[in-house]
Chains A and B, each alone.
Chain A
């Protein structure tokens, strides 16, 4: 007996729309089973995980702050994934972007001017793009697998940040704590509204999502991205260059990841520390797929995934379970999203006996 995936004749539009919600529902059911197995009251646990963070104004601001980097990175990744470039290293581009954006306030902290913030943005985007250019170059020139190279570069970036913060960039007045100087006022990303903590990182995320949605939907560039992702050969026939697209996709997603990194350190942390991200670059991969690689869907998906971060913290405090549950929920969600998407296009068949494959002819 074998299990076989058989392509369906048509794709149900209804289920194509419902799929992310079905995945969310299944994640919740799996969550109930999980909490029961842990001996916790599942209703209370799910309440504190998914509802409680939405009940207060300050936690809604937290939600936006957490969602901002996820959306920014995921929007860039959606262009990558649509063009068939598998950038798994956004976490590293996020870190390098944050570091490049921190050069002015950390190394040249004496120079305080309104020009600092715009320059930090530019530096961060260049830094993230440059770091993403490494796997892009390796893929375009040497045909290496970008999944492996971009992933491995994440660990390089993490250790480089760790070394820098403990070494050359350590705050000389910081009692030997592994931290850089606090950013001066000109280097801190302002809040969007005075009453809440949400900073302009969330604004950048929304702008990026809307711009890329428009590009993908209406412009020739978006068309080029989709064609090359579907078939490189047809893309070459159209006169598009698949090698240039590798660079375009990686540089764009790297720049957005770098911007997200800078927004996080400048808007939220206000200094560099050995660890600046709870895995935003990886979670953004889930966000991109949960949002069906559509920039507007990604905004919604980013808010959902941000909720799992807040919920994890809340559940840790209120019912005393480990914050590893956050990662678990994220993993479950990705699993169910991909599973639902697959089952929209294929049905499962159990095959007894004769072969079904027609590959011989």
Chain B
């Protein structure tokens, strides 16, 4: 395999790339094991007044899997973007094998020997796997050669991939494999993976870990970015923890406990969420029957025969890998998109499929979409205006006056904004700041608080804690449970399995627009969810015909 890889490199050598060929033993590294493969000294990046990375010291030894831990916004992505030449450091230096280097562009990073797999893929959906790989190689290597090489590499590393398949038809896990194979084709000595498991099923993640072990055995180094403590403990040799742009700890994760790691990440204890006290479910509040909705764009997901019954006093979690119809399901549940069959969605017994979002709000429903900026809130408007955004109809009596004129009452709106901010502990420097100026966690607390404040009978939330710091996340989860305790029905669409197990009374899994039958969380295991996520609809490893077809 290596020989072929070198041959490919030689073919591409007109591009001025050096001919580095690692042998599987990694003897080059063994000679240099004293010197870190990559080291940063005082690496700093300043955005305006924000020090996104503040004097970061990091050393990655050859042949180690090094974790970069930190919450959202801790500066992890900024750091790796500097290492990969996407961003220009404001200060400090980067050393490669002990020598200072300047990495001016991703191309230079690749030439140095750094490969990167981004969290959000940069793939052309209409092209094939091989074509996507060829685009990244920016050389004149024949596509057949790339296909052969990609196929070989993918088999070698346990990343099965069909080079002639169209990207649009592939699952997220398969797309990630393309990115990894693409990085491996450059024969890197250091591979950076940015939150790779956030889009994978547990089984797909296991596969990925096997691949990482192989890479490590070959003497390559891996910089593994994550905020998931278990997997870091499982696969990483060393960890560097970031908080607010600074290194707050460097440790061997296997010597630490999850809670000691969490303390380094968060800088304090995180309140545990308690689901205790959820009583017996009451009357049926939401009844979805044979709900189907066609895809609204070529790459959207079609919802097929979704059945779901939610009772008062329970939290239903809908798990699933991103892009399996979560936002489509949210849109039809919220009424932003209506369906032709009014009876397919019944809210408290009333056929609501054709009702818009305002009518459903008036029936006591509240909604929290996934995207905060430009969907749940308007970033360039202040919090009180963002309160009016979703509440003007349901709280017409308080917030509006003047009959048909519809005058907005600034006083009551400001009072309610203040009430929500203090109830949800929204931290802000001004009384009524622009929504866009709040951090993700604070804005999300406000958005969730805005809906909880009216005590909805039904709450539908999509990814409630996506990109939210641990403290805010536990607060939001507890608030959702408390709402259910008070007798409302809560539907949580989430990719975060920890969250699902923490708050749900029943769990269903969404896969390619189909929803599995909800099961009590007590009888659900991660493995079973993983199988359901992967399209095995009976959850026992027997794929249904459609699922087989799709893969």
Contacts and interface: CB of A to CB of B under 8 A. Distances in A.
Contacts of A236: 336, 357
Contact of A231 (B48, B104, B378): B378
Interface stretch (A187-195, A214-222, A247-255, A307-315): A214-222
B119 A361 contact: yes
A143 to B, nearest CB: 13
Contacts of A356: 87-88
Given A237-B357, A360-B118, A354 B88 contact: yes
A318 B85 CA distance: 62
A220 B380 contact: no
Contacts of B80: 361
B392 A238 contact: yes
A234 B81 contact: no
Given A219-B405, A230-B381, A353 B104 contact: yes
Given A226-B381, A355-B86, A361-B86, A233 B375 contact: yes
B74 to A, nearest CB: 15
A114 interface: no
A114 B194 CA distance: 76
A354 B45 CA distance: 14
Given A219-B406, A220-B408, A237-B357, A358 B87 contact: yes
Nearest to A360: B86
B193 to A, nearest CB: 12
Contacts of A204: none
Interface in B483-504: none
Interface string B171-199: 00000000000000000000000100000
B385 interface: yes
A263 B443 CA distance: 49
Given A227-B389, A360-B106, A220 B194 contact: no
Contacts of A218: 407-408
B378 A230 contact: yes
B60 interface: no
B147 interface: no
B315 interface: no
Q: How large is the interface on A (under 10, 10 to 19, 20 to 34, 35 or more residues)?
A: 20 to 34
A356 B390 CA distance: 37
A219 B85 CA distance: 49
A353 B371 CA distance: 34
A223 B49 contact: no
Nearest to B48: A9
A239 B393 contact: yes
B405 A239 contact: no
A219 B104 CA distance: 52
B296 interface: no
Given A227-B378, A361-B81, A361-B194, A220 B392 contact: yes
A357 interface: yes
A227 B381 CA distance: 8
B77 interface: yes
Contact of B375 (A220, A221, A231, A353): A231
B478 interface: no
B297 to A, nearest CB: 13
Contacts of A226: 381
B122 A239 contact: no
Contact of B380 (A221, A230, A360, A361): A230
Nearest to A236: B336
A239 B356 contact: yes
> Most chain-A Cβ atoms within 10 A of its Cβ — which of B88, B122, B389?
B389
Contacts of B390: 237-238
B380 A358 contact: no
Interface string B80-97: 110001111000000000
Nearest to B50: A9
Nearest to B82: A354
Interface string B292-333: 000000000000000000000000000000000000000000
Interface string B444-485: 000000000000000000000000000000000000000000
Contacts of A237: 334, 336, 357, 367, 369, 375-376, 389-390
B380 A219 contact: no
Contacts of B150: none
B444 to A, nearest CB: 15
Contacts of A355: 85-86, 88, 104-105
Given A9-B48, A233-B374, A355-B86, A238 B389 contact: yes
Majority DSSP secondary structure for residues of B touching A: loop
B400 A239 contact: no
Interface string A113-127: 000000000000000
A243 to B, nearest CB: 13
Contacts of B400: 220
A168 B407 CA distance: 48
A342 to B, nearest CB: 16
Contact of B120 (A231, A354, A357, A361): A361
A349 to B, nearest CB: 11
Contacts of B66: none
B361 interface: yes
Interface string B358-395: 10010000010101001111111100010011101100
Nearest to B388: A223
A221 B86 contact: no
A354 B103 CA distance: 8
A54 to B, nearest CB: 38
Contact of B378 (A220, A234, A239, A361): A234
Contact of A234 (B106, B119, B375, B393): B375
Nearest to B107: A355
B408 A223 contact: yes
A361 B406 CA distance: 43
Given A237-B336, A239-B361, A358 B81 contact: yes
Nearest to B373: A231
A358 B88 CA distance: 10
A330 B56 CA distance: 53
A360 B122 contact: yes
B451 to A, nearest CB: 11
A354 B375 contact: no
A8 B48 CA distance: 8
Contacts of B358: 239
A358 B408 contact: no
Nearest to B369: A237
Contacts of A227: 378, 381, 389
A25 B384 CA distance: 37
A226 B380 CA distance: 10
A344 B375 CA distance: 26
Given A226-B381, A230-B381, A239-B356, A220 B86 contact: no
B392 A231 contact: no
A223 B385 contact: yes
Contacts of B388: 220, 223
B527 to A, nearest CB: 32
Contacts of A8: 48
Nearest to B361: A239
Contacts of B375: 231, 233-234, 237
Interface in A318-361: 353-358, 360-361
A356 B106 CA distance: 11
Contacts of A230: 374, 378-381
Contacts of B369: 237
Given A223-B408, A230-B380, A233-B374, 13 more contacts: A220-B406, A223-B392, A227-B381, A227-B389, A231-B379, A234-B377, A237-B367, A238-B389, A239-B393, A353-B88, A354-B104, A360-B122, A361-B77
13 contacts: A8-B48, A223-B388, A230-B374, A233-B374, A234-B377, A237-B336, A239-B358, A355-B85, A355-B105, A356-B87, A358-B86, A360-B106, A361-B80
List the 4 shortest-distance A-B pairs measured between CB atoms, nearest first. A239-B358, A220-B406, A9-B48, A354-B104
Interface of A: 8-9, 218-221, 223, 226-227, 230-231, 233-234, 236-239, 353-358, 360-361
